[in-house]
Chains A and B, each alone.
Chain A
Amino acid sequence: MSALRETSPVEELTARLAGRRALEGAAVAASRRAGEAGDWVDGASALLHANAGETALLAFLRAVDGGDGFGAAGTALADICRETNARMVLTAIEAWQRLGRPHWWATLTRLAREAPESFALVLNHAGTALAAGGEPGFTDFVAVGLKAGGADAARRRRFFALEDPLARRTLSRGVNDGFAANERRLATFLTALVGRVPFLRPFPTPPGRPPARRVSIADGVILFPDSFPGAPADTIDRLYRAAAAHAAAHRMFGASRWKLGSLKPLQVSLIGLMEDARVEALAMLRFPGLRRLWAPFHVARTEGGTAPALLARMARALFEPGFHDPHGFVVKARRLFDEADKTGPAVMRAIGGLIGNDLGQMRVQFNARDWVIEPAYRDDNLGLWDFEGEPQSSEAIELMIDAARVRQEEGDGRVEPAAAHERVGRARPAPAALEESIVLARYPEWDRAHGVERLDWTCVRAALPRTGDARRIDALLDGAPDLRRRVRRLARSARAGRLTRLRRQAEGHDLDVDALVEEAVRAATGETPDGRVYRASAPRLRDLATVVLMDVSESTREASVLEMERLAVSLLGDALDAAHDPVALLAFASDGRERVGLTRVKDFDEPFGPTARSRLAGLESGLSTRLGAALRHAGSELERRRAFRRLVLVMTDAEPSDIDVTDPLDLIEDAARAVTRLRDRGMDVLGVAMGEGAAHRAAGIFGRAGYVTVARPTELPRRFADLYFRLSRR
């Protein structure tokens, strides 16, 4: 396009650069490289316009000279310069060259425009973001930060400085969202393999540290990194499985921990690899198929003399009998390993120490801080060591101890989930102000003193569900396999499709022999035959929609009523979901008549999946029990469902109360009236009275046949069975 113009853009540019020799030279070099016209010319002009300054312009022109396709970045850099300053242009160019020339200019322009104050911070962490998720991961990281920070520059700064946990999560998630996607399947895989339900957790990333890159095992808990950066997407599931199987091998064949003693970091690493090879060898004796799982990850080749390369070569040689590595060190390691007694770990420690000395004498540099175990499925082996009371000899070992400590803290939190949960509960702000939340409906309430129903007395509002750790619910269910199985079976058998046999029918698929004989006898004795000699079957289709109301008021904190409710609802939700019965789970707690909060844990058509589970896990005791209003609302929701049978199941300690009610009988009578009204409208209302002493109160509300009591979790299945019996009897 420029050929026809009197002066080409590049001539114009050089004219403007006249006198500044360094720039002139760079521009000439750039034009030689990238042509006399093109993006770079426009970019350079734009940078000039933006007053980017000589240094920035020079860096740009040199970058154009240094590689292809940079010219287009010029206009973006000019924008960045305008929004921030010339120094950022330099920083951006420098980072771009350092990080392998990512295509990130559009993202950076947006960042400069919307969050100029954070620009430098982002470039600081750009390497991590790119390593974790590539360019899409980086773009995502910036987008999440801009959204989370909103108009608040300080919040954006916190995010991009990685002080915000969300930022760390976003970074660690990367593109292969591995662990979360694989967790359940891995747990099942390990349960099948080992015979015990494993504890799997995502690896916690401490603030300011890069996300974990390997699995770690601590006190029976297997910590998985959220992703394996750099692993091809199609091998990621396999990698997780291989890692899980390796952890299982440690668990099945490993032994108690070693004292660190005076071992050097290199020896520690070698002993770890020896022990890895030992447990894997034993595991493969028992499960030969594991070799197929692990083998593809051993990719070390017989080259490279650095410590990491030699360690990886040794790992492969010990794993793969057919792998011939001539390196003297590897040969020796393998010979010692092959000759060793592999039934216990003791010999491994000795061999590891020995060949560690060899390697030390070869003066191979080993930096424990940067070393990451290969192949990638292996764990960091910190779980092999006992760091208690060890003299803290080297920095590397201190680092290891730190890492171990972080995990132990994490582990402690897990051992007492209830306690941890409570801590979290106190730290959280009070429930989102109910006044501002959406009004669902207003309901009347019974005024005992005056014997009237006060119209529109209560206001039911949607409370925002707090989310907890869905794995708690999974753990509850996994922890009670027998209960779970029985409740599931109960729900399924009570569901649909069980045919009832009808005898002495006028038509049917089968002759009823007894009726037939009687018929013939009747005919022979001169009586009138009635012809009903068939057997038939009628499907007793149970078309049942259920609302489970959970009382989460303050009083459910006592005697862990809420925990029992959580277990009961988990079992029921799991069972009804498996039986495809529509069920809605609602939790209620009130704060005066204007604020009856209703938390929707699960709606009818929602699966009882991770979202519902995390909401269930997030329920906390608090506020009061205005049972009547909650019942009326449950009834009105249920009424809209098309179902043959409708059931409201109320889990409560049967102690209605509220802050603005002085007469406790008021709310009890109101609840009883609400129950009666729902039954009048054709719904079944059954109470599950939780905790000791709830029985007599429940009778007052639900009627003598309308409730069951559960004092201990183990009673749940039997009580549920009672409930179903009651349901089918009516």
Chain B
Amino acid sequence: MEHRRLRNGRGVLSMTRLAPKPSSAVEPFFIGFEPYYRPIGEEIDIYEAAYRERLPVMLKGPTGCGKTRFLEHMAWRLRRPLITVAASEDMTAADLVGRYLLLSGETVWRDGPLTVAVREGAICYIDEIVEARQDTTVAIHPLTDARRVLPLEKRNEQIAAHPDFQLVISYNPGYQSAVKDLKESTKQRFVAIDFGFPSAEVEAEIVARESGLDTDVARVLVLVAERSRNLRGHGLEEGASTRTLIHAARLARQGLSLKAAVESAVVLPLTDEEDLRGALREAIDACLP
């Protein structure tokens, strides 16, 4: 009951009053204002169900289709702090879990972002998890099954996850290669939500909303994006994402011609191959009024 009231309610402040006061460690990770998110399917219901069961979630989808935005929105909706870790090849298990540091001659344990989330009951979001090395990825395994614990080997300690803690990873299937892929044992621990690009009408709405551009012009941009997405696998690795469209729309809002905005935000970032670029440009030109 309390939960429902909060969701309809009057923002974060009222919630922080009602919820058990979070420690200062996660205070900055609360999202204060509602991030705009336009649902395209059942993803909100699925996520809420998964969260109620505290199941780990995997967000799949091409770059720039709104995975991160969705999670920000959900964290705001659920009134949970969101701790984001951008995975990289450089990242070690210690970067995730924590390490001893030196403080005036003494070693002091400092929690990593994952450990903070586990202790304080935040949502921990590991972005582009495939970028991390596989031995790093294994560190999250005990958190993703019924145990819900995080072993801290260096401290010889095992911490049980806070009841509100949840782990979310993002995963771009187009990005995977046979060499760089999630281990099967990692993949199967997650509930997956698949993000595609929304329908043209919805995407235009999103572009217009995010950029402040006229919906009619946004529709043209979506048409442009479809041209580039048609070339996926035929020269292009990925088509233009919703994010690139928003960039183009913002350039256009600054008074740039649509042609120039699309060139800078869509065509040039996508490819350097002269012939492909030429053909893409020609197909895009057919979309522009």
Contacts and interface: CB of A to CB of B under 8 A. Distances in A.
Interaction A to B: yes
Contacts of A516: 102
A495 B278 CA distance: 28
A364 interface: no
A195 B287 contact: no
A324 B101 CA distance: 83
A555 to B, nearest CB: 29
A192 B230 contact: yes
Interface in A710-730: 717-718, 720-721, 724-725
A628 B89 CA distance: 43
B89 A195 contact: no
Given A192-B230, A292-B285, A520 B177 contact: no
A720 B178 CA distance: 9
B13 interface: no
Contact of B234 (A185, A478, A513, A720): A478
Interface string B206-240: 00000000000000000100111011111101000
Interface string B235-249: 101000000000000
Contacts of A241: 282
Contacts of B228: 192
B280 A485 contact: no
Contact of B178 (A185, A289, A484, A717): A717
Contacts of B289: 288-289
A193 B286 contact: yes
A365 interface: no
A536 B267 CA distance: 36
Contacts of A46: none
A493 B227 contact: no
Interface residues of A, number: 44
Contacts of B286: 193, 245, 287-290, 293
A422 B100 CA distance: 70
Contacts of A289: 284-289
B254 interface: no
Contacts of A489: 177
A521 interface: yes
A517 B178 contact: no
A507 interface: no
A490 B279 contact: no
Nearest to B89: A501
Interface of A is mostly: helix
Name the residue in B90, B177, B230, B276 with the highest tally of chain A Cβ atoms < 10 Å from its Cβ. Answer: B177
A189 B279 CA distance: 5
Nearest to A292: B285
Interface residues of B, number: 38
Nearest to A289: B286
A206 interface: no
B107 interface: yes
Contacts of B234: 188, 191, 197, 478, 481
Interface in B133-188: 177-180
A290 B284 CA distance: 10
Name the residue in B278, B279, B286 with the highest tally of chain A Cβ atoms < 10 Å from its Cβ. Answer: B286
Given A484-B233, A485-B237, A193 B99 contact: no
B100 A517 contact: yes
Interface in A204-236: none
Contact of A493 (B102, B179, B237): B179
B288 A513 contact: no
A514 B153 CA distance: 14
Interface in A460-482: 478, 481-482
Contacts of A188: 231, 234-235, 275-276, 279-280
Contacts of A725: 179
Contacts of A485: 233, 237
A287 B283 CA distance: 9
Contacts of A27: none
B99 A513 contact: yes
A402 B69 CA distance: 60
A524 interface: yes
Contacts of A501: 89-90
B105 A524 contact: yes
A189 B107 contact: no
Given A287-B286, A478-B234, A501-B89, A494 B279 contact: no
A694 to B, nearest CB: 21
A504 interface: no
Contacts of B89: 501
A721 B177 CA distance: 9
Contact of B231 (A191, A290, A292): A191
A490 B177 CA distance: 7
A185 B102 contact: no
Contacts of B223: 286-287
Contact of B288 (A288, A482, A486): A288
A257 interface: no
A166 interface: no
Nearest to B239: A192
A721 B94 CA distance: 30
B178 A189 contact: no
Contacts of B237: 485
Q: Which 8 A-B pairs have the closest CB atoms?
A: A481-B233, A721-B178, A192-B283, A188-B279, A287-B286, A289-B286, A189-B279, A195-B230
Given A188-B275, A195-B230, A481-B234, 8 more contacts: A188-B276, A241-B282, A287-B286, A482-B233, A493-B179, A494-B179, A517-B101, A521-B107
9 contacts: A185-B278, A191-B234, A194-B230, A293-B286, A481-B232, A490-B178, A493-B177, A493-B180, A520-B107
Interface of B: 89-90, 92, 94, 99-102, 105, 107, 177-180, 223, 226-228, 230-235, 237, 275-276, 278-280, 282-289
